[in-house]
Amino acid sequence: DADVTQTPRNRITKTGKRIMLECSQTKGHDRMYWYRQDPGLGLRLIYYSFDVKDINKGEISDGYSVSRQAQAKFSLSLESAIPNQTALYFCATSDLYRDTQYFGPGTRLTVL
C-alpha cells in the first residue's frame, strides 16, 4: 500500500462549489504539506503543518483552507472554487529532522 494517499484522484467541479481534497499517510511523519503544480510554475506551497496543532500559510494560501484532523490526515478545502484553481494538487510529508519530502500521487482538479 502507498505511504501517502490522496482522494479523490480526479475531480471536475463547477465555479462556486466547495471542494475538499484529503490526504492520509502511514509514514508516521509529523509534517504535512499541500502543493499545487501548474505548467511552467512548478510546485507552489499552499499550506503546511508541522504537527497537529500547527498550521501555516504557504506562498499561495488565498482561496484555500486546511484542517489537520490527526497526525496522519491533512485536508485541503477550496471554499468557493474558481477556474484558476484548476491544477494538480499534491500532498507531501516529512519527518522532524530531514528535509526530504514524500509525495502522494496527486489530485487533478478541474474547475469549470
Partner 1 sequence: QKEVEQDPGPLSVPEGAIVSLNCTYSNSAFQYFMWYRQYSRKGPELLMYTYSSGNKEDGRFTAQVDKSSKYISLFIRDSQPSDSATYLCAMSAARNTGTASKLTFGTGTRLQVTL
Nearest-angstrom CA–CA distance, 73 and 51:
11
85 backbone dihedrals φ, ψ, rounded to 5°: -95, 5
Separation between Cα atoms, residue 43 and residue 35, nearest integer Å: 6
Minimal distance, residue 10 CB to partner 1, in Å: 10
**What are 105's three cell numbers?**
500521487
Output 56 or 80, the one with its CB closest to partner 1: 56
Residues 19-38 that bind partner 1 (CB under 8 A): 31, 33
Residue 4 as a binder of partner 1 (CB under 8 A): the answer is yes
Binding site for partner 1 (CB under 8 A): 4, 31, 33, 40-43, 45, 48, 90, 92, 94-106, 108
